[in-house]
Amino acid sequence: MFDPAVSDQWWKNAVVYSVDVETFMDSDGDGIGDFRGLTRRLPYLSGLGVTCLWLLPFYPSPNTDDGYDVSDYYTVEPRFGTLGEFVEFVRTARDLGIRVVIDLVVNHTSDQHPWFQSARRDRDSRYRDWYVWADERPEDEATVIFPDQEESNWAWDEEAGQYYLHRFYSSEPDLNTANPDVRDEIHRIMGFWLELGVSGFRVDAAPYLIGDTGIEDRMPQDPHLILQDMRGFLSRRRGDAVLFGEVNLDPGDRETFFGDDGDEMTGMFNFILSGSVFTALARGEATPLAEHLRRTPTPPRTSQWLNFLRNHDELNLSRLPDDEKDDVMAAFAPDEDMRIYGRGIRRRLPPMLGGDRRRIELAFSLLLTLPGTPVLLYGEEIGMGDDLAIEGRKSVRTVMQWTEGPNGGFSSGSDLVAPVVDDGPFRYQEVNVAEQRRREDSLLNRVERAIRVRKESPEFGWGAWTVLDSGDPRVLAHRCDWLEGTVIAVHNLSGDHVETRLEPAREEEFEEVIDIFGNDRFEPLDPDDPRVSLGPYGYRWLRGRRPGSGLTP
């Protein structure tokens, strides 16, 4: 029976779409995406089946780190619009059934933020202790995150006469989260945006809020209390709001960010699952992905894993075993220019898969059926490519491709905030929303149908999962059970035809099993002899009905 205590956990069956305001849609011809443009495209996202928008930073910023160097947490970057236009955007999204989650970047600020400017000028400033200072650069320091651009986590400030801590770029001094005033300010920031209608936050660099801070001796005895306080504040202000954590840590460490009772992160991005998907795709076998699923712990009742293929940064492979990382690099980033930081790949999904429609569809099918909540990057639904001529991680942040017209329909201007892909197989003249809407067999229409079936199958998001014995290392089969419903997904990771018999992993037999989605028309499955035949990179979603359940598939 459904538990009403968790009826507001909308994120368990959500479809999340990550979008950068400045590269999505320009409404006024200045070459920069804005909130009026994004609002205009909300019906498109609603039609696609999106139920939650995750916005990358849109705050005022010197933009030395693509907006993650925030200089004011309480307004909108003027290039993107006004607070009023933001509120209108949130209201329109809500009317279309779409919630809005925004980036909460409070591990650091910009060095241009008034807090830091006051802190560096005056040791008696109330903001001095909002940052982390040292008279001498510590000899023992943590690993430098961006070794190609920074030599140390400490930078000398001539005006302050001290070193300051920065775990990311030197233009982004770390906030001192050991200071209760800083933690109170974080709550005020959250409260401000909640009042404007957002449904929660994606917490950037969550581990650096409580660890590797350079001030461990001043932190609470249990630093996780900081995250518990954030979650408690959020729940008091809005009971159904979320904290989605960027937590790229090893197994055993990452799970602690859910909290002992699910009282920290509502959802966590599953970086290890993402890497395992690409290992499976690279090797053409399901074993590494199946092993990861078996080792993945079930999150607390009030929490969730967030699954993704690619995001707005590099494909980070740092948590994979060396042999898996080497295989993924060799398969999908054979040229050094495709790699970054020695740990990642700066390409989008379709170019990595050589534009192979079968493999792209297979990857989407995995994303939508693996246990948890799927997160799509803008443009994935049409198979957008990347631009490796752009420096660093920005290669995947090209502008959205709407039409075959000038600038891909993104802007009527001539000076764009980011290049449009106008060469090669992923150029906007060939890959765009308008063209794919006209073709019934397009990737866009296929993804839209897949999302619709995924939303009709809440077992994938809510259910307990089991990896089934497929008897073939090339085939991943898993089932998800919730209430009286069961769904089963079968994927062929290889380029071969395969035939396998599924072991149900349950004693009961299904009275009926029907297909609900797949890449082909299949013969009906016999519940007493569940043999499955799949073509190269084939996939099949099934729903079973138990005897006496009274439910139709």
Question: Is 25 within 8 Å of 412 (Cβ atoms)?
Answer: no
d(CA 327, CA 349): 16
d(CA 342, CA 175): 28
Angle between helices 287-295 and 271-283 (to 10 degrees): 160
**44 Ramachandran zone, left/alpha/beta (phi>0; psi -120 to 50):** alpha
Query: Coil, strand, or helix at residue 237?
Result: helix
d(CA 541, CA 519): 9
Residue with tokens 């700066």: 346
Widest distance between CA atoms in the chain = 77
Q: What does the buried/exposed string (b/e) look like for 265-300 if buried means 16 or more CB atoms within 10 Å of the residue's CB?
A: bbbbbbbbbbbbbbbbbbbbbbebbbebbeebeebb
Neighbours of 249 (CB within 10 A): 18
Question: Is 529 within 8 Å of 501 (Cβ atoms)?
Answer: yes
d(CA 80, CA 32): 7
Which of 111, 115, 217 lies closest to 166, judged by CA?
A: 111
- Transcribe 367-426 into DSSP letters: HHHSSSEEEEETTGGGT----TTS-GGGGG-PPP---SSGGGGS-S-SS-SS----SSTT
Question: Is 527 within 8 Å of 512 (Cβ atoms)?
Answer: yes
Which of 244, 239, 306 lies closest to 102, judged by CA?
A: 244
d(CA 137, CA 152): 9
d(CA 319, CA 324): 10
d(CA 122, CA 143): 30
Sign, CA torsion 287/292/295/297? negative
204 is an active site residue: yes
246 is an active site residue: yes
Query: Coil, strand, or helix at residue 31?
Result: coil
Structure tokens at 248: 């790229």
Single out the catalytic residue among 22, 34, 111, 204: 204
d(CA 463, CA 485): 9
Neighbours of 321 (CB within 10 A): 12
d(CA 347, CA 79): 27
Single out the catalytic residue among 66, 246, 386, 435: 246
- Active-site positions read 204, 246
